[in-house]
Amino acid sequence: MTMSHEQLIEAITKEVVDALTAPQGGDGQPCADCVRGCAASCSDKVREIVGNGAQRVSYSGAGHDVPGDLARYIDHTLLRPEATAADIDRLCREARECSFAAVCVNPFWVRRAAQSLRGTAVKVASVVGFPFGATPAEIKAYETRRVLRDGAREIDMVANIGALKSGDHDLVRADIAKVADACREVGAALKVIIETAYLTDEEKVVASHLAKQARASFVKTSTGFGPGGATVHDVLLMRETVGPEMGVKASGGVRTAEDLRDMLAAGATRIGASAGVQIIAGERGDEPY
């Protein structure tokens, strides 16, 4: 029997919550051994429910809950290595005209973007440990403070994917926490990229939970430079893992208003897209500019 959307979400929620409910340590947080053990012990259940159920839906959630104003959910993104000053200026102009949530640029361009967007509601986001996540935590923290000083107010950091897949969850949590601490110094938001295309469903659950433990603001699907981008399946799984109090950013491969609405319906609260102008123009029936 095919699950309804509501039944699917309820089932995933129960399994993820059961998996991540662990005995509390002295500080009130689940101990590291329990985080590792729970994710491993329930892997078959998570795989069965998420794989068999989520693959049967292409649009999760209630359509009437998807907001009409899509622009305010978009991080207008340009991270190509060949981007020029003129490209960054155009990105910022488009973000102002479309009222996007933020622009996301490489660290070198943060100061220029911040100057261009001064006096507007559009925030500047930048990337840390990008795109592989293999930079030592101390370097990620230094890089974070530097781009924050240059005017960024949102940080998209790449988690240490190799450490995660090696089972070194303490290192992954500490890596994220160091950047989170730097962000909190100035009230900046931290989005943790877990690069879902490299992970099993169980690893996606663990990575999302570690980001939550480390007090990140968002968990994010992809860099856009890996082997795959955001999927409804992954966004739904991440949302059910972190609960309602954290943001979920879907990034990579979101090219149409329909794609964007699918991600929002699955639980995303921010969308990373280089095609933001085309998405909004298509939604409004305008000619892309």
Catalytic sites, residue numbers: 156, 220, 249
127 SS3 class: strand
**Of the candidates 152, 151, 121, 155, the residue with the CA atom closest to the CA atom of residue 141:** 155
Taking CA atoms, 98 is separated from 85, 94, 249, 265, 268, in Å, by 20, 6, 19, 22, 20
Are 235 and 267 contacting, i.e. CB atoms less than 8 angstroms apart? yes
CA distances from 38 to 22, 35, 206 (A): 7, 6, 9
Residues contacting 208, CB < 8 A, separation 6+: 194, 219, 237, 238, 241, 242
What are phi and psi for residue 158, nearest 5 degrees?
-95, 125
Is there a contact between 59 and 265 (Cβ–Cβ < 8 Å)? yes
CA proximity to 165, closest of 143, 141, 197? 197
Strands (E), 108-252: 123-128, 154-158, 189-193, 218-220, 247-251
φ, ψ of residue 219 to 5 degrees: the values are: -115, 140
